[in-house]
Structures are given as structure tokens and as C-alpha cells.
Amino acid sequence: MHLPRQLGPLHDLPDTPEAYDAVLAGVVEEALARLTPEGGLEHPDCVDDIGDTSLGVTSLLALAWQRGKDPRLPEAVRRSLAFHLRERVYTDDNPGYPNLRARGTGLPYARYVLEAGAHPIGDWPSTVWALLQSVNLLDLAEGLVGDEQRAELVRVARGYWRWLTEATFFNPQEAGNQAIGCVVGGLMLARHLPAPAADETRERALRLYEREIRAHRVRDRGALLPPEHGGAYDNNYGPISLSFLAQAHRVSGEAVFAEDGDALARYIDARLPGGGFDNGGPRYSEQHSGFESVLGLRYFGARIGSDLGRYRGDTLPHCLKGVGGTPRGRHAVKADGGIDGHFAWMLVWQIQDATPWHRTPATAPARHQLRAGGVSVAFDDRMTPSLVEAAGTYYLPAAVNRQHGFGPVTDGFLFCRPMGEARVRDIAADGLTAKLVSKPVVGRDHVLRHVRSLYVTDGTSLWMTVAVERLPGTPYLLAGLPYAADDGDRVRRTAEGEVTAAGELRLTHPESDGVDHFDARAERTQEEAAFALAADPRGYGNPDLGWSHLVGTTALEAAPAPGAPDDLHVFAVRYGPAGPFTPVFAADGSALTVRTESFTAVIGEAAGDAHGEPELTLTAV
């Protein structure tokens, strides 16, 4: 089976002016055929996320007219705008809405579901989206909208802003992408207001960003990130936040948005393997965004000098077809492939922004990443691999006795959680790239041991060597859960990979079929298993937290390598093409020499280094 949402790299989508004009031409024909006598442009099947959708299509028609001057469009824009102002602007409080700070304000807002009292919790983001569609249309209104209609749109947009920032609690869902989107709406709205209202709105937007978003950032893997639904990063919403930061910087020029976007971009770059697969998040786990991410990945990929567009989105680049033949990657659609105006501002912004894709990897070493060629290792906060990619296969941390990670195991205890600082050394030599991670770990026997993990790659294979003071019992190395593999434009589920070990290598599967055990041979995806263990329903639960409740998984287990020094257990595994693998080990004081068919590495402590930093030398064979 294929994973349903991990499709083609976003930078493979054509993004020339001609390609975008073709996209807009398709939107125009579908919208004109759909336009109702009342002026509505909503998809007939749209029920939720509806409050901004007709206006979103209207903004796309306005952009198409500005680029091509199709004479059919001015009337369609005016009629559909009138529909929104007449039918989709609400001023009475929605029954059951829980986040109002002031009742009966009469301020306009957009509804997530049109029926009164039906799922009102979504009204805050829907109003953000309606604000963004409004300011986009105001930017594009010249020559299309009369003075009276434009003035009414300005009044409604300003009312949306006030409802979001005065009538309700700000960012009630703790969703960074929604909150930054609201700030962007305020910054764009300010350009259409007279002084002093313009200055007041801009200053309030910047103040909200500093106090309500930036001050509440969450640290993960050394980076401070906008919180997303209670977590640090979500692989669907995180890149969307990056797009909002790009637009905030584009329209305001404020350095803070560039700085925070650079930090988020470097974080994404470090966690994302070369193949673009990723998983994890407090709201979604394998549901990637598509067109919503393009602006941010392209804009900040160019700023930090890395190929962020390798991120796999909800699109197949060669035919723009997704699951079930549904077009994706340009704008939101319904199941039949028909356009849905939801999030249309992202298509507007990515067309307006001329930043080209940066298509080559960053060259500087990153603490939480090892990457070369077709090999990648992403490291978590504990400097334990969170994702290993080699030979087109992706390995997740395996689980044993509710403990997750890569590392030595003895008597059911996994040695990967540091008791103190993890030290890292990066080196590149003779076409090889390596990272040494040294961390103190305390076992159940309360004995402090130093786990030294060496990762070496030539861009095709990954050698993982782990050394630790001799362990009791019958130890083994927990070496990953084979989960997915590249399959052309798609990613398919797998339960195997090309892996070789110096000692005996076993691929084990859980004996239990309970929900808290994950067998890679089954059809259940990681996301489905994660939500099954989450405390709240799918779409509202925390899949990362749910996944952490797994007791056991399919796992690669490698026995100790023969020939290790007497006082050490050494484990050696190679991910990638098969071939001879008989590493040799030698100890000289605190130094350990590792010789393989491809390299010789010496791991030790730098002589005379007052800081105790680990030493690593590496030479190709």
C-alpha cells in the first residue's frame, strides 16, 4: 500500500508565470460555470471551512483579471463579492461559541459552518481566512470594484480584525499558523486604512506577534518554534506557518519575521531527509500540506540556501493528480477535484512572489542532521535518530517496553536517554561525512555509562557504530523500524530494508496484535496507530503523544559485533546496498579505532582539550 499523503516533492511543480497563468485559466473557467444567480462561488459539497471560500475564489478571479484582463471577470468579481458581503458576513454572536470576550459587539465574523451553533469552535480561524481573502481582494481591486463596494469591504475587513483581536480571545486553538495568519491580515489591512488607524493596526499586529506568538515559542531540537496546537511542530501546519512568516516579511519588511522564519526553515531542513518524507505533529502525523507550504519553503529555502522544496506535499508533480485522481498542489479542492476557495490567498501570494526554488542542499553541518547524497539521519532533542533514510527506505525509532529510539538494549532497558549533555562532533573527509554523538546514560542499575554513536556515510550507505562500556545480560542494538520506501512519485509501506550487521541481525515483530503494538507488516499506518492511542478523536488528538504510548514495534535488532575490546560492547550496522561487512575494532586507552571496508575512524577524547570534547578522525580506505 502507498501512504496516502506523502506524494511528490513540492519543488517539482512548475512555477513559471506561464504555469501559473494556466492554473488561473482553469480556475476562471470552473468559477464562471459555477457562479450562481446569487453570485456564490462555493463548491456545492462545501459544508465546513466554508465562511471564506467564495471570497477566496473571487480573489483568484481578481488576480487572473489583473494578469490577463479577461472581460468576463469584472462582473463576476463584483457579483461574487456582493454575495459574500450580503450572505457570508455574520454580526450576531454564534450560539455556543466559547471564546468570546465581549458579547453582542455586532462585529463581523466568518463561520466555519453556516448553521447557527454548528461547530462554532472553528469560527476564529475561519475569520482569519476571511480577513486574508478580503485584504488580498483589496490589493487586487483596482479597476474591478467600485468605490462603494470597496469601502464596504474595507469596513468588513476592519471588523474582522477587531472581532479577532478584541471580541474574542486571541489564538484560542493555540495554533501558530492561525495566529501568524491573523497578524499577516492586520499588516495587510493597515495598508488600506487612513492614518492614524493604519499605524494603530500595524502596531497592534506587531505587538500581538511579539507578545502572543513569539513569547510563547516552544523549543525543539535547539530551535524556538511557534507552537502548533500545543506542540512544537506539526509536519502539516509547520510549513504553513513558514508561509505566513514569509508573507509577513514580504509585506512589512520587519526583520523579526525573517529571523524567525530562518530559524523555522533551518529546523525543517534538519528534520527533513533528502527524500522529503516526514512524520509527526500534535495535530497531524502524515498529512502533508501542498500549495499552502510553497511560499514559505521557496522563500526561506532561498534565504538559508537549502532545498526545502524536497518536502513531499499532497501532489504528484508530473500530472498534478493526487489520491483518487484529485488535482492537488495548487489550491484546495473537494473530492471530485473541483476548486474550493479555502486558503486561496496562498496561491495568490506564491504567484506574486518571484523567489526561485533553491535546489541544492545546504553544505554547513547541522547539529540535528547528517545528510549526504541519498542518506539522511535526523536527530531528536536527545541526539537519537528520529528518522533514518538509506537506499530509499525510511526507518523510524523502534519501541521496546514503551521506550522509543535507537540504541543498546539490555534486560529490556534502552540506553538512549542522556543523563547530561550530549556532545556532537561533525567531520567530512575523503568523500565521507560523519557525526559522532557522545552522551552519558544511566541504566536501571544506576551505573553511568558513556554511549558513543558514530554515523558515517558516503551518500549511498550509512554505517552506524555504537560503543558502550560492557553491559550485563544479552544486549543488542535497537536499530530501527523499517516503515516506508520510495516508489517513484509515491511512498509505499514496507516492513524490510537493506541492512547488514557485524553481529547477528534479527527483524522481530510484536507477538501481540493490540493497539499498543505496531507490526510493520500490517496495513495500519503510523498515523492511524498514533491516533488510535491518542486521548482525543482523530483530528483533535495528539498523534505524537499517542505514538509515544506504543509498547513495542517491529524492530531491527543487532547483536554485539565480534572482536570488540574486552571492556566494551560494540554494535555495527550498515544501512544500504549489501556487500562484505566485517568491521575490526581496536582500543588504545580511551580511543577506539573502527575499520570497515570503506573507512577507518578513530573515536577518542582530544588530548589536552580542557572542555572534554570528543575527538574523531576519519579516512577513506
Q: How confident is the model at residue 605 (pLDDT cuts 50, 70, 90)?
A: low
Nearest Cα to Cα of residue 388 among 306, 293, 499 = 499
Task: Say which residues have a Cβ less than 8 Å from residue 371's Cβ, sequence separation at least 6.
Answer: 273, 274, 361, 377, 433
Pairing of strands 448-457, 385-390: unpaired
Q: What confidence tens digit (pLDDT) does each residue in 385-412 have?
A: 999 999 999 999 999 999 999 999 999 9
Return the DSSP state at 34.
H
What is the mean pLDDT of the segment spanning 212-235?
Answer: 94
Q: Does residue 318 carry a pLDDT above 50?
A: no
Pairing of strands 407-410, 413-414: antiparallel
Q: Look at 457 and 319; give whichever has higher pLDDT.
A: 457
Task: Say which residues have a Cβ less than 8 Å from residue 345's Cβ, sequence separation at least 6.
Answer: 56, 59, 129, 132, 133, 136
Note the pLDDT of residue 323: 41
Per-residue burial over 337-358, b = 16 or more CB atoms within 10 Å of its CB, e = otherwise: eebbbbbbbbbbbbbbbebebb
Note the pLDDT of residue 610: 67
Note the pLDDT of residue 538: 85
Q: How confident is the model at residue 489 (pLDDT cuts 50, 70, 90)?
A: confident
Note the pLDDT of residue 586: 96
Q: Look at 580 and 554; give whichever has higher pLDDT.
A: 554
> Cis bond leading into 196, ω under 30°?
yes
Tell me the C-alpha distance between 545 and 75, whole Å: 51
- Per DSSP, the residues of 341-388 read -TTHHHHHHHHH--PPPP-S---S-BTTEEEETTEEEEE-TTS-EEEE
Q: Does residue 316 carry a pLDDT above 70?
A: no
Q: Does residue 320 carry a pLDDT above 50?
A: no
Q: What confidence tens digit (pLDDT) does each residue in 149-172 have?
A: 999 999 999 999 999 999 999 999
- Per DSSP, the residues of 130-191 read HHHHHHHHHHH-TTTS-HHHHHHHHHHHHHHHHIIIIIB-SSTT-BHHHHHHHHHHHHHHHT
In DSSP terms, 439 is beta-bridged to 451
From the number of C-beta atoms within 10 Å of its C-beta (0-12, 13-18, 19+), residue 389 rates as buried
Residue with cell 539490555: 410
Q: What confidence tens digit (pLDDT) does each residue in 75-100 have?
A: 999 999 999 999 999 999 999 999 99
Q: Does residue 382 carry a pLDDT above 90?
A: yes
Note the pLDDT of residue 328: 55
Tell me the C-alpha distance between 587 and 565, whole Å: 6
Helix (H), strand (E) at residue 259: helix 255-271
C-alpha cell at 521: 507488516
Helix (H), strand (E) at residue 200: helix 197-208
SS (H, E, C) 12-25: HCCCCHHHHHHHHH
CB atoms near residue 548 (< 10 Å): 15
Residue with cell 561525512: 433
Q: Does residue 422 carry a pLDDT above 60?
A: yes
Per-residue burial over 186-211, b = 16 or more CB atoms within 10 Å of its CB, e = otherwise: bbbbbebbeeeeeeebbebbbebbee
What is the mean pLDDT of the segment spanning 280-289?
Answer: 90
Tell me the C-alpha distance between 324 and 313, whole Å: 15
Q: How confident is the model at residue 319 (pLDDT cuts 50, 70, 90)?
A: very low
Tell me the C-alpha distance between 592 and 271, whole Å: 29
Task: Say which residues have a Cβ less than 8 Å from residue 298's Cβ, sequence separation at least 6.
Answer: 11, 15, 308, 309, 350, 353, 355, 356, 357, 358
Task: Say which residues have a Cβ less than 8 Å from residue 352's Cβ, sequence separation at least 6.
Answer: none
Task: Judge whether 326 and 333 are in contact, CB under 8 Å.
Answer: yes
Nearest Cα to Cα of residue 370 among 302, 298, 272 = 272
In DSSP terms, 377 is beta-bridged to 370, 388
- The answer to whether the predicted template modeling score (pTM) of the entire model surpasses 0.75 is yes
C-alpha cell at 181: 495568519
* AA letter at 510: P
Q: Does residue 327 carry a pLDDT above 60?
A: no
What is the mean pLDDT of the segment spanning 444-456?
Answer: 96
Q: Please provide the average confidence, as pLDDT, over all residues in the chain.
A: 94
Task: Say which residues have a Cβ less than 8 Å from residue 399's Cβ, sequence separation at least 6.
Answer: 481, 518, 550, 551, 552, 553, 555
